[in-house]
Chain A
Amino acid sequence: MRKALPILLILSAIGLSASAQGIAGGHVTGAFQTDIQMSHADSVIGAQDVEERLLINTRADILYQNGNFRAGLRFEAYQNPLLGFEPKNLYKGQGIAHYFMNYSTQRFSITAGHFYEQFGSGMILRAYEDRYLGLDNALLGATITYRPVNGVTLKAVAGKQRYYWDYGAGLVRGLDAEVNLNSVVKPLAESPLHLTIGAGYVSKYEEDETIYQPSNPEYKLNLPLNVGAGAARLDLSYGGFSLQTEYARKGQDPSADNDYIYRHGEALTLSAGYAQSGFSAQVQAKRVDNMSFRSVRSQSGQMLYINYIPAINRQHAYTFLSMYPYATQTTGEMGLQADIIYSIDAGTPLGGHYGTDINLNCAVITGLDTTQVGERGTEGYTSPFFGTGDLYYGDLSLEVAKKLSPKLKLTATVAYQVFNPIVEGHGGDLHHNAIAIADLTWKVNKRNRLRFEAEWLGSDSRYTAASADRRAGDWVMGLVEWNIGRHWFISASDQYAYNDGVGNYYNLAAGYSQGATRLTLGYGKQREGLLCIGGVCRQVPATNGLTFSLTTSF
């Protein structure tokens, strides 16, 4: 019955549109994606045999829109799930995973069914989806957004979170208000100072359960059934200057993530920047302390998070720059990031004939300076606000992009990274990596482009059978990509450990794209490692074989 519900919903939507505006009113749009994988064993890179031979993930989104009314559903199928979608038995299956109805005017929006929402930067609430991470914590329930006057936005949400093909037991309720003072306060209407303030509160309810203190097994923890988290934020800009800050605080929330301690949680982010045409500089700082917030207290892994704490370091796009990706430590971390972008004008000594773009970025992330004060069932630890702990991650990179001639463009990057394996949950020495990358695009003629990429990574880590870290060692990589005509591309790449490492990861790919449809076919070896998007990471195993992917929107 529950599965038939979305169908009824869509049919009623069709009926509604037929009666209100005639059957011709409204539009159906959608998207479709399928990914197919065939992988076979390779002991060098650690790829396992796939007993099904063929793994397929498919999704189709259908959206119906008629004036202010919108309804949608999403079909998902994991038959069986691609490698890395673990635990496999929980992902496996097919059906309508997402459905909703929405009515929106310029002032008012109400959604019943599944929805995504975010308060501020998401430190107390962010329901979102990432298909590549296999992550979807959509809320099933209802949400209202109301803008009574220009500049004021009020939101209310209530629901349960999606958990694979089921829902978490906890209830999530939240309220948020945001005011743009320039729209509301008359004297500020024409002011060059732009000011937006906001605040939100989220509460989760979960039934009691029995958790004992390990050293006193007769002591059962008195668990809070309702846990609240509040946040306040400010967004200010004046000419080229801008400042954004948000502070969040969470009540006692003993959970598997913090080993059932009763310390409150808090997080602070601060971002200050200056930007003018051709130049910008920005500094960001963050402190996170015991801020894992889930709708089910016993949950570990990546599901059922109510909030989202992004990583503060830059999200890199090149292979070796993202070989050691940083995953946010929601239990505690401190971070600083600085970023400078400078476009040097053409015709100046540094800019040359066509101008030069420079981007300098650095980030440092550490743990907290914590002192243990008790075990499970107590405050757990204390930590001074400005105290830093172990170095988790460091990253310094310089990227220079330069057009050499009307046909040639070069982007060169050098970087230095320090990575502490403790952020992946295991000990070991720090990895120190130096990286250099050259990326050259050659516009052969109007419709043919060749792109060459050469990457080098020098590391002080070496591969050992005990650590089995296949990223270790010194690496080189080459890539050639040829865009042929309007629709086709082929590419070939190889990553090779020339010193202290193992593995030779070659890849061949070809693709076709037209309009909003894209087909790609690949053959080769894919490295095991962390796939990270926005500081959230998923372990993906090594694969060796064929991949096929089709995406389209209509």
Chain B
Amino acid sequence: MKKSIITALFAIAAMVSVCAQNAKFPDNINIKTLDGQTVTTSVIQNDGRPIIISFWATWCKPCNLELNTMKDVYPEWQEETGVKIVAISIDDARSTNRVKPHAEGKKWPYEIYLDPNQDLKRAMNVGDIPHTFIINGKGEIVYQHTSYVEGDEEDLIEKVRELLQD
């Protein structure tokens, strides 16, 4: 038993070293639109420009702070870099119906999807939220960050700018 675990871990380590390039953002996970329609994550697109993906929930204070703060700078970011922000709510049945009113009430200009069964959350190894990713124009995950304090959004846009320079 122990030997087989060690063997598997070595095999995985070998693979990690072989494929050092970035993991792809999955395009085949079922999520829901705010209108209740089931779609796959292939709908998350930005014409070859970077995407910021933020996992949040209505009850999560730092998530709300992050999305509120980015709201103010988002128009400038879009103009400068063409970046798109996609907010993935992991609210469960207790509060999925509150997501749309919550986002509207707070005037969030983002593309928002629901992940009530947390399939995307698991596929991206998200534990605690907020957990934010940057996806480059090729659909690769190039940066991730957990937790939020004011100022962290400046790191995000810095990374996006770096991507555009490459």
Contacts and interface: CB of A to CB of B under 8 A. Distances in A.
Interface string A310-324: 111011110000000
A333 B45 CA distance: 43
Interface stretch (A203-211, A254-262, A511-519): A511-519
Contacts of A279: 104-105
Contacts of B104: 240, 275-280
B118 A116 contact: yes
B12 A62 contact: yes
Interface residues on B, range: 35 or more
A341 B94 contact: no
Given A237-B35, A314-B59, 9 more contacts: A27-B23, A28-B15, A63-B122, A104-B28, A104-B29, A147-B38, A275-B100, A282-B101, A534-B94
Interface in A30-55: 30-31, 33
A222 interface: no
A370 B153 CA distance: 54
Contacts of A29: 23, 124-125
A194 B36 contact: yes
A341 B105 contact: yes
Contacts of A117: 117
B146 A443 contact: no
A339 interface: yes
Interface string B81-99: 0000000000011111110
Interface in B123-139: 123-128, 131
A145 B16 CA distance: 30
A312 B93 CA distance: 10
Interface of A: 3-4, 7-8, 10-11, 14, 23-31, 33, 61-65, 68, 70, 104-106, 109, 116-118, 121-123, 126, 128, 131, 145, 147, 151, 153, 178, 180, 182-183, 194, 196, 235, 237, 240, 242, 244, 271, 273-282, 284, 308, 310-312, 314-317, 339, 341-343, 357, 359, 441, 443, 446-447, 449, 483, 486, 489, 513, 515-518, 534-535, 551, 553-554
A427 to B, nearest CB: 27
A28 to B, nearest CB: 5
Nearest to A328: B94
Given A65-B24, A196-B35, A122 B5 contact: no
A553 B105 contact: no
A84 to B, nearest CB: 18
Contacts of A109: 28, 30
Given A25-B19, A278-B105, A441-B150, A180 B127 contact: no
A121 B4 contact: no
A70 B97 contact: no
Given A65-B23, A65-B24, A343-B106, A486 B117 contact: no
Contacts of A104: 28-29
Contact of B100 (A11, A128, A183, A242): A242
A486 B153 CA distance: 11
B165 interface: no
Contacts of B150: 441, 443, 449, 483
Contacts of A308: 92-93
Which one of B1, B94, B100, B125 has the greatest number of beta carbons of chain A within 10 Å?
A: B94
A553 B92 contact: no
Given A4-B4, A25-B19, A118 B94 contact: no
B144 A513 contact: no
Nearest to B101: A280
Nearest to B65: A441
Contact of B16 (A28, A275, A276): A28
A196 B37 contact: yes
A516 B93 contact: no
A447 B30 contact: no
A109 B30 CA distance: 9
Contacts of A62: 12
Contacts of B93: 118, 121-123, 126, 308, 310, 534
Given A341-B101, A551-B128, A315 B8 contact: no
A553 B116 contact: no
B95 A315 contact: yes
B78 interface: no
A314 B37 CA distance: 25
B123 A70 contact: yes
A238 to B, nearest CB: 10
Contacts of B101: 242, 273-275, 280-282, 339, 341
A553 B126 contact: yes
A25 B100 CA distance: 39
A416 B58 CA distance: 21
A68 B123 CA distance: 12
A213 to B, nearest CB: 36
13 contacts: A27-B19, A31-B127, A33-B127, A116-B118, A116-B119, A123-B93, A182-B35, A196-B36, A242-B100, A280-B104, A343-B107, A443-B151, A513-B146
Nearest to A310: B94
A11 B9 CA distance: 10
B155 interface: yes
Contacts of B11: 10-11, 14
B94 A535 contact: yes
Contacts of B155: 486
A275 to B, nearest CB: 4
Contacts of B98: 282, 339
Contacts of B7: 7, 11
